[in-house]
Structure 1
Amino acid sequence: MITKEDKDFLIPKIARPRIPQDILFAIGGYRGESPTALIETYDTRADRWSVMEEVYQKDERFSHGTALVGFNIYVIGGSNGNRALSSCRYFNVVTKTWHQVAPMHECRSEVTVAVLGEILYAMGGCGLLLLEEQRTAEKYDFKTNQWSLIAPMNMDRCDAGAAVLNDKIYVAGGCGNYLILSTVEVYDPVTDQWTFVAPLHSERSSLRCIVFHGILYALGGFNEVSRSLSAEKFDPAEDTWTEIHDMCVARQNFSAHVIDDTIFIIDGYHGDETIFSVECFNSKKNEWYHATEMNVRRTGMSICVVKNLPNAKDYAHKHRDEIMEKIRKKLLAWETQRQQAFDYNLDEHTKFNHIPQENNEENWALM
């Protein structure tokens, strides 16, 4: 029925994408020649991005971190284009309201952020004038609205990748002492200590780290020569890194997250331009593939995924019926081309079979 040529054809409701319960939020970033406060959301069921103009609030920043606690998305540090920031705020996705919270002890642009339990961690980054790299780290308790310093990292780091695995925080790569790093260190909140583990195969900054199915992945980044296509995964039991299949697009300063049991890689910087392409990783096939691009091209934004959102419909793609209609039109066009090709081949076959027998040999020679 979906390929039926009927102008009044109605898409059955069962064919429309369902409203997802998990929504990906992309916040801020560097757009054109200035930072932005723009928020876009991604609907995995519809594979569509939506600009959330109704929740816009003037707070332009990029190279910041985001962290989720409950239904609150915390926006931490970053830069306003002139200096690094220590300010933090959160957006409640249910009430759609913004709230200011206590600032960090340090200004941190290109900050590395992680959540362990219900505690937020901000590590390293570049200081006030965006010049000096830092090894200091601090944690935030939303119950007391207080930041407190924790043990500093073993190395100065900004623009590193971080993820939580086995109740510990892994921080990989980044820049330190004007060098791009391959070192990886782990923070144990019980002992308040940092420990080195096996280094990455290659130095990289502006990378992203993701934990997926109990495996730590280090993705993309810059290695002083190029925007690295390579990706690798870490086995904590063996303390070894293993390279995996390259990403589709080389990029740095991008965003990465897991949603719907899939790793999503979003936006970033490639060569002389920002990009807004999106790609996904299929761990079973060890392959990357493309998803729908964002609406706005930017870099240095930060993302998070809100699960089991009660008002997910507010952030989902609004025109779900149009999606299937577009697919139907594509199917109709494909069916028309297929039929035309079939008719053409049939016509050519008929012509050939009507060639007099004595001319067949000559015809084959011409072909």
Structure 2
Amino acid sequence: MHAHKVILCGCSSYFRVLLTKPLATTKKQKIFIPGVSLEMMRLIIDYAYTNSTLVTEDNVEELLAAADQLFVTGLFQSCWFFLEDQLCPGNCIGIWRLMSFYYMPEDRKKVFHYILHSFKEIVSVSEELVDLSMQQLTTIIESDHLNVSEESTVFEAILSWINHQPDQRSGHIFELLSKVRLGLMNFHYLQNVMENDVVKKSSKCFPMLDEALKVSLDYTRHSTSIYKSPLSRPRLPSTILLVTGGEEDGVHATELEAYDARADCWTTISDGQIRRAYHGAAFLNNFVYLIGGIYNHVYLNNVKKFDIVTRTWHQVAPMNYCRGYVCVVEQNECIYAIGGYNGVTCFNSVECYRPETDRWTMVAQMNSRRGGAGATTLNGKVYVCGGNNGNRDVSTAECYDPDINQWTKISSMKISRSGLGVAAYRNRIYAVGGTTNMEHSLLTVEAYNPETNKWSCTPSMRRPCSYFDIEVVDDQLFLVGGYNGSSTVSDVNCYDDEAGMWYDFSLIKKPRSGLSCCVLQGLNSMAEDLFPRGALMLPNVEDTPGASI
């Protein structure tokens, strides 16, 4: 294979050393490159001349090794970018194990956190889980950041791994089981664990399981002792529910309160910076945006954003119109402010904010005027339900397609509602509570199926409520604060679709209605800071098995 020395030296320090020795002074020379196939060498020479090459699923592993051996750093990075783009629950473990052969600490950490976040889906679809070493599996399941709502997921992953090679792996059951938060398991499921054949063969497991049974029976979410035992310490939340603004008897709340659903506890992030109610909130690119609302009977068009990392506030471009009782959603890296009320009229207008330009622009108007409506997103579309049109509460609903900038009417709800909560949950749109013509708060709930264009009744809340907010956390609907028809409340309620029931959880610190919530994701270090678990078990991923080159 013929190539110009100057071209090869330009793409690789390996070739610079090899081809600038005194030996390399002759016009022609033949050099043998060990450990690299003819096909890979051809791709590397193509890359040297064109600064590009075709990376595919079939060649990426061998090409990555060749690029690493010959110090072709640009090509090595291209291979990693290809793997990063292909990353999914079905292949992430293989990519993580492959990366252990190269010095890529930050990139490998990203993949490791992806595995932790997607673990439940990985257990369902991945064929690579059983290829993990004992230490690699332990590294994953012992982490406080492992994203599982049920510890049964972890136990079933252990069983799959052991059953792949039962003769060689059954002896590891005690060490692996000790990494499971057994005390958080359902009592009946824990009994099934004790009856498992692999577990029963290990006498070392019995004392640990007896202790787990005691913890399970005595478990109290609000007890600080749950953090002291590795059997009962909750995993860190992968999503954090954030509550902003609101008021009680005209006194505006100033705190941002964050909620850990796995430990059922609240903490304050910021205090004294915001005073508004009946506003909207959205989380985008590590910023929490507070949009419009009302303060001291003044309707606002201003927008503030809170930097989650630095904990600082910043002013951004105001909306074109003052909007209280506004709906806010995030879709396709944009924020939409929908409808609202300015003290005189209700709007059917909609504004769109793009952070990269720091501008609000008008988009297509809704078919109806709506203040105090509810909105959410599902499958790339925006849904808005109910609200008040300036004369009465309405039951109508409509859907916005950002790709064609068009609103379409959908079936109306069974009940007219304003001050309701609307959320996308399990591929349906839930319309929860609210009020009818300000006469009384509702406790009824209905759900919309986009495939059938029909609403159906679902289990009602335990208590009536309006002007709260609602979000999905850990595959459950959480309802926070609001007004029950006679007073502002600090209640936190949760709906579990599988159980078909509503549950009560820890109260927010102060009663507030007209609040707005958003869900924060991808903030592992923030979860550690806000909800410390004691000595964290997140390992240094560079120390996991695998050779470095």
Same fold (TM over 0.5): yes
In 2: Cα distance, 1:220 partner to 1:125 partner: 19
**C-alpha contact (below 8 Å) 1:19/1:316 kept by paired residues:** no
2:469 and 2:255 mapped to 1: Cα distance?
15
Which residue does 1:275 correspond to in 2? 489
The equivalent of 2:256 in structure 1 is 39
Alpha-carbon distance between aligned partners in 1 of 2:500 and 2:236, rounded to the nearest angstrom: 28
- Alpha carbons 1:63, 1:109 under 8 Å: kept: yes
Query: Per residue, is there more strand in 1 or in 2?
Result: 1
Q: Which residue of 1 aligns with 2:511?
A: 297
Which residue pairs with 2:348 in the alignment?
A: 135
The answer to whether the Cα contact below 8 Å between 2:233 and 2:533 also exists between their aligned partners in 1 is: no
Aligned partner of 2:296: which letter?
G
Query: Can you list the C-alpha shifts for 1:29-57, whole angstroms capped at 9, x where unaligned?
Result: 103432222111111121011123xx224
Question: Distance between the aligned counterparts of 2:236 and 2:500, measured in 1?
Answer: 28
**2:280 aligned to which of 59, 65, 79:** 65
1:156 deviates by: 1.0
Q: Cα deviation per residue 1:82-137 (whole Å; 9 max; x = unaligned)? A: 2110000111212212111100000000001111110100011011xx23111111
Query: In 1, are the aligned partners of 2:326 and 2:372 still within 8 Å (CA)?
Result: yes
Distance 2:446 2:382 in 1: 17
Written as runs of structure 1 = structure 2, the 5 A alignment for 1:54-203 is 55-127=270-342, 130-203=343-416
- Is 2:528 the counterpart of 1:311? no
Which of these two proteins has the greater Rg computed from alpha carbons?
2
User: Identity, % of aligned pairs?
Assistant: 33
Q: Which residue of 1 aligns with 2:236?
A: 19
Instruction: Provide the alpha-carbon RMSD of the alignment.
Output: 1.9
1:248 paired with 2:465, answer no
SS at 1:103's partner residue? coil
Structure 2 gap ranges (5+):
1-210, 216-224, 536-549
Higher relative contact order (CA 8 A, sep 6+): 1
* Contact 1:25–1:41 (8 Å) recurs in 2: yes
Task: Give the TM-score of the pair, scaled to structure 1.
Answer: 0.81
- Kindly state the Cα deviation for residue 319 of structure 1 after the two structures are TM-superposed: 8.0
Q: Which moved more, 1:154-163 or 1:56-65?
A: 56-65
Inter-partner Cα distance in structure 2 for 1:172 and 1:315: 37
Tell me the equivalent position of 2:95: none
* Alignment-mate amino acid for residue 152 of structure 1: Q
Query: C-alpha distance in 1, partners of 2:292/2:403?
Result: 25
What whole-Å deviation, never above 9, does each CA across 1:155-174 have from its counterpart, x for those lacking one?
A: 11100011112211111100
Aligned residues of 1:28 and 1:60 also touching (Cα < 8 A) = yes
Instruction: Name the CA distance, whole Å, in 2 between partners of 1:87 and 1:146.
Output: 12
* Larger helix proportion of the pair: 2
* Residues 255 and 274 in structure 2, CA contact (< 8 A), matched pair in contact too: no
Report the Cα offset of residue 311 of structure 1: 2.2
Contact 2:236 2:528 in 1 (8 A): no
Query: 1:19–1:312: 8 Å Cα contact kept in structure 2?
Result: no
Residues in 1 aligned to 2:232 and 2:534: alpha-carbon distance in whole angstroms:
10
Q: Tell me if structure 2 keeps the 8 A contact 1:94–1:310.
A: no
> Once the 2 structures are TM-superposed, how far is the Cα of residue 315 of structure 1 from its aligned partner?
5.4
Change (3 A) 1:318 1:296: farther
- Per-residue displacement from partner, 1:199-244 (whole Å, max 9, x unpaired)? 0001000011110111111111001342111101111111100010
Where 2:466 maps in the other structure, the secondary structure is coil
Q: Secondary structure at the match of 1:162?
A: strand
- Residue 450 of structure 2 corresponds to 236
> TM-score scaled to structure 2, two decimals?
0.55
Gaps of 5+ in 1: 4-8, 322-367
CA distance in 2, matches of 1:237, 1:78: 34
